[in-house]
Structure 1
Amino acid sequence: MERVTHEFQPVFNRDSRVLILGTFPSVKSRQQQFYYGHPQNRFWRVTAALLKKEVPVTIEEKKKMLLDGHIAIWDVIDTCDIEGSSDSSIRNVKANDIGGLLAQTSIRAVFANGDKACQLYRKYCMEQAGREIIRLPSTSPANAAWTLEKLIQAWSVIREYM
């Protein structure tokens, strides 16, 4: 177990209408200093499909696609004990100030990228944030039961809030 702190900022602006929350950055994401850095994670392919855009490559392209699509992203956890990238190993959580971010935006709905993000939000953030969360299937490569096509279909619910 290693005590780790989230080291990069949320992606949002005051026009953001949808917030997508992960749990905590993977080892690959921490190395790259940006969200969903594992090459097998399907987050960027799913969001690009929903926004009818090319899959972004650089961090700047990713930020631009999200902000142009009115999507904000962040993680539930600011600091925790974790083994590698294992969400199931997460202990001793200090949550991010989700309510503070919501107050700066036009966010209409909060979504969880997977079960663990949903559970952690409900446990540590929901009361303070004052918003329910909608669980989406995880884009993680560990969620191999979900094909890219099934993920895009399930995630298309966010379109009604954009």
Structure 2
Amino acid sequence: MFYYAHPQNRFWRILPRIYNNHQTLETNEEKSQFLLEHRIALWDVLHSCTIEGSSDSSIKDAVPNDLTFLLENSDIRRILCNGTTAYKLFQKFQKFDLEKSVEVLQLPSTSPANARFSEETLEKIWKEALLHHK
């Protein structure tokens, strides 16, 4: 169990290319190390929910993660939501008052269900969000 574990999810294929790294990220250890090296944190908007398969539209009984402590005690300046559902759930549940500004962006999902975006287009959009800060 690790983030974006579905073999067809494009997240772990585009991420190394964004950083001009030709490494294939296969194991959880390789993925974790890559994230640490590039100062990327991954966290779920939801702590738990009831869901049928991987269908976001079936989410019920959502219990949000409390991100307040994490955001108040780290140098996170930008939050990238992987898809519309993650963004909407973040907006619905994450009510916190921070002294520092945290930019929240909705990006197209890297899920294989999001056939509207090619892998190349996802890479371009995610690269812009990850590397070009305000």
TM-score relative to the length of structure 1: 0.74
Percent identity of paired positions between Structure 1 and Structure 2? 44
* Residue 105 of structure 1: aligned partner: 74
User: What value does the CA root-mean-square deviation take over the aligned residues?
Assistant: 1.3
1:7-64 CA deviation, whole Å, 9 max, x = no partner? xxxxxxxxxxxxxxxxxxxxxxxxxx21111000000012111122212111000000
Structure 2 residue aligned with 1:142: 113
Higher relative contact order (CA 8 A, sep 6+): 1
- Cα deviations by residue, 1:69-101 (Å, 9 ceiling, x for unpaired): 010001100011111111110011110112221
**More deviation in 68-77 or 152-161?**
152-161
Is residue 77–residue 103 contact of structure 2 (8 Å, CA) maintained in 1?
Answer: no
Matched with 2:7 is 39
* Residues in 2 aligned to 1:52 and 1:107: alpha-carbon distance in whole angstroms: 23
**Whole-angstrom CA distance in 2 between matches of 1:133 and 1:86:** 23
Match of 2:20 in 1: 52
Cα offsets for 1:82-123 (capped at 9, x unmatched): 111111100111101122211232111011000000000000
Letter of the structure 2 residue corresponding to residue 83 of structure 1: E
The correspondence of residues 22-101 of structure 1 with structure 2, limited to 5 A, is 33-53=1-21, 54-101=23-70
Structure 1 unaligned spans of 5+: 1-32
Which is strand-richer, 1 or 2? 1
Counterpart residue identity of residue 106, structure 1? D
Structure 2 CA distance, aligned partners of 1:59 and 1:68? Answer: 14
Under a length normalisation based on structure 2, what TM-score does the superposition of the two structures give? 0.89
Match of 1:159 in 2: 131
Classify the secondary structure of the residue corresponding to 1:135: strand
